[in-house]
Amino acid sequence: MTIKIIYTLNLFIKYYLQMKKTFSTIFIIIFSLSIMISSCQSSAKKIEKANDKVQEAKKDVLDAKYDLNMARQDSITEFEQFKKEVEAKITAHEKHITEFKARIANDKLENRAIYEKKLADLEQKNTDMKKVLAEYKAEGQTNWQLFKTEFQRDVDKLGEAFNDLLKSI
């Protein structure tokens, strides 16, 4: 009888181990499938999110390009307006030079030499400013603002010099 019990117990242990192995295998298969399925869904979601981000980045790039083009256009328009204003002032200075030359032609010889020297200096400054304006190339908004401020100051100083010369004649 003990042999029958041992034999039965042995069969039971084999059966138990076989069932345990089967359950473990089934559990591993189910777990693996669930991971694969959930990872596929998250990859699809990740791809979708990545595509959304790419589209958003493309839109941002287009917006930035548009803003840059508008800024360039505004800068060009501002420069053209500034250039017209300064050219008008330079032309007015040239007109003053012609008028001053006619005025000093009748002055005394010693005064005429002084005025002609001052007038030649102002005429050279006016010509130089005209040349600088014609050769200016925009190199950025900061440089443009600096150029504009300094050039406007120089034009104003030249205008004051013409007025001072006019008062002295």
Provide the residue range defining the domain that includes 13.
2-168
What the block records as the tokens of 129 is 């400013």
What the block records as the tokens of 96 is 């003053």
Is residue 34 within a helix (H) or strand (E), and if so which, with residue range? helix 2-104
Q: Averaged over 113-121, what is the pLDDT? A: 85
How many domains are there within the chain?
Answer: 1
pLDDT digits (tens, 9 = 90+) for 20-55: 666 666 666 666 656 666 655 566 777 788 788 878
Tell me the C-alpha distance between 139 and 52, whole Å.
36
* Residue 61 clears pLDDT 70, i.e. is over it: yes
What the block records as the tokens of 159 is 């205008």
Residues 156 and 89: beta-carbon distance below 8 Å: no
Biggest alpha carbon distance in the chain? 155
